[in-house]
């Protein structure tokens, strides 16, 4: 397995990484979110930094310390993450979207705490913008890397996302697999590139997974003379 052992392979490159969940507000006390811890994205930020990149970490709410030497942009909602990504996209050489972005947000939000009422509360949800799709549609010469969180048909769904979102590389994981997914310290991933490369990794610490992901991106870029 190819592994980057020498440092500084991303010197001069700007890498934008998104991490963590988003929170979609209902009222001052309630929101929708998901189980993302941010660990995978923060580990990727650290691995990119170790290769000498300038790293911008656009992070949803997490409980973890950002790695040293990384510029952190804190965001809360999918809309804020979208706006931050758009601000940094032009300057980015590589964008890695590991955040678990909410697909839906409440259609109505309340300025005051909503008091409980008799009967059922129906909350209407509307779609958020697909950030990665937007970046893919507007891609100039950035290397665009996405994640696919799947619970079945992992390869098929990941390949679909790779092509429909105009990505260079996608990292797929089965979130139902023991040792993989949102919350833990380990992950089990398979990476697929646009030019047909596939790499399957065993269960590894997220920090190790991050180094392999960065290594796969570097290999891909070398192959494409970038």
CA-to-CA distance for 100 and 116, rounded, in angstroms?
A: 30
Inter-residue contact 71 to 92 (CB < 8 Å)? no
Q: Is 113 annotated as a binding residue?
A: yes
Q: Which stretch binds Ca ion (CB under 5 A): 6-14, 75-83, 98-106, 166-174?
A: 98-106
45, 56, 58, 148: which one binds ligand CTP (CB under 6 A): 148
Q: What is each CA distance from 17 to 102, 125, 155, 176, 196, in whole angstroms?
A: 17, 27, 23, 24, 23
How is residue 183 written in tokens? 């919350």
Residue 13 binding: pick among ligand CTP, Ca ion, none (C-beta 5-8 Å cut-off by kind): none
2, 28, 87, 103: which one binds Ca ion (CB under 5 A): 103
78 vs 221 by CB, closer to ligand CTP? 78
Site size toward ligand CTP (CB under 6 A) is 14
Q: Is 141 annotated as a binding residue?
A: no
Inter-residue contact 167 to 145 (CB < 8 Å)? yes
Q: Which of 142, 150, 164 is nearest to 89 (CA)?
A: 142
Nearest distance from C-beta of residue 27 to ligand CTP, angstroms: 22
Radius of gyration (C-alpha) of the chain in whole angstroms: 18
CA-to-CA distance for 8 and 199, rounded, in angstroms?
A: 23
34 is catalytic: yes
Inter-residue contact 212 to 205 (CB < 8 Å)? no
Q: How far does Cα 205 stand from its chain's mean position?
A: 17
How is residue 74 written in tokens? 């804190």
Which member of 34, 166, 173, 187 is catalytic?
A: 34
How is residue 20 written in tokens? 């963590």
Q: Which stretch binds ligand CTP (CB under 6 A): 29-37, 53-61, 126-134, 200-208?
A: 126-134
131 binds ligand CTP (CB under 6 A): yes
6 vs 140 by CB, closer to ligand CTP? 140
130 vs 208 by CB, closer to Ca ion? 130
**Which H/E stretch holds residue 104?**
strand 104-106
Q: Which of 218, 187, 175 is nearest to 5 (CA)?
A: 218
17, 57, 70, 149: which one binds ligand CTP (CB under 6 A): 149
55 vs 148 by CB, closer to ligand CTP? 148
126 binds ligand CTP (CB under 6 A): no
Residue list for the binding site for CTP: 103, 113, 147, 161, 165
List residues with catalytic annotation.
34
Q: Which residues of this protein are in contact with ligand CTP, per CB under 6 A?
A: 78, 97, 99, 101, 103, 128, 130-132, 146-149, 161
């Amino acid at each position: 397995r190819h592994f980057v052992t020498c440092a500084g392979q991303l010197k001069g490159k700007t890498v934008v990484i998104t991490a963590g969940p988003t929170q979609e507000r209902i009222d001052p006390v309630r929101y929708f979110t998901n189980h993302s811890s941010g660990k995978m994205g923060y580990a990727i930020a650290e691995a990119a930094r170790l290769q000498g990149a300038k790293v911008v970490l656009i992070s949803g709410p997490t409980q973890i310390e950002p790695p040293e030497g990384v510029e952190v942009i804190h965001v809360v909602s999918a809309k804020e993450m979208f706006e931050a990504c758009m601000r940094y996209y032009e300057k980015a050489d590589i964008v890695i979207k590991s955040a678990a972005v909410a697909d839906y947000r409440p259609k109505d939000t309340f300025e005051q705490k909503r008091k409980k009422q008799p009967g059922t509360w129906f909350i209407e949800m509307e779609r958020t913008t697909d950030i990665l799709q937007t970046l893919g549609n507007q891609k100039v010469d950035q290397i665009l890397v996405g994640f696919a969180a799947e619970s079945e048909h992992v390869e098929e769904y990941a390949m679909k996302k790779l092509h429909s979102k105009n990505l260079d590389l996608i990292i797929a994981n089965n979130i139902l697999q023991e040792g993989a997914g949102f919350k833990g310290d380990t992950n089990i991933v398979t990476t697929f590139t646009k030019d047909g490369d596939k790499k399957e990794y065993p269960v590894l610490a997220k920090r190790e997974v991050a180094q392999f992901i960065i290594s796969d991106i570097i290999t891909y870029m070398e192959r494409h003379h970038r």
